[in-house]
Amino acid sequence: MLVTQRTTGADRVRMVARQLTEPHTANWIASEADWFYEPTKRVPERLVDNGVIRRTDEGRHTTYRPDYRQQAMREAMALCDDADSVEQLADRLSEIKTQIQEWKSTCDVSSPNEL
């Protein structure tokens, strides 16, 4: 992993955890971040405490997954901040919807996880 030379292990764990699209264990996150398991366990817990990701304790292993509500709120706020008017916001949302439909058709998928 090229970024390992410029970032700390905790930085890499945060990057991997923030980009989760489905539930994964701390061990998986550690592997993706190219860092040790023991210190990795603490980083996702801090992200859970800060509302960035969610923890699920069902099953044999604790898993971490995206907090879709938090992600949606961040995206909505960014869209609102970039728009100067309600009309601009509506236009941008229409563009996004069109782009999503094009991706679905081009890639023959119905959700981003299928990519």
Cα separation, 85 vs 55, in Å, equals 37
**Residue ranges in 19-114 assigned as alpha helix (H):** 26-33, 37-49, 68-82, 86-107
pLDDT at 94: 93
pLDDT at 113: 66
pLDDT at 24: 95
Cα separation, 5 vs 67, in Å, equals 29
pLDDT at 29: 96
Q: What is the mean pLDDT of each run of 10 residues along the chain (115 residues)?
A: 69 93 94 92 93 90 91 88 91 91 87 69
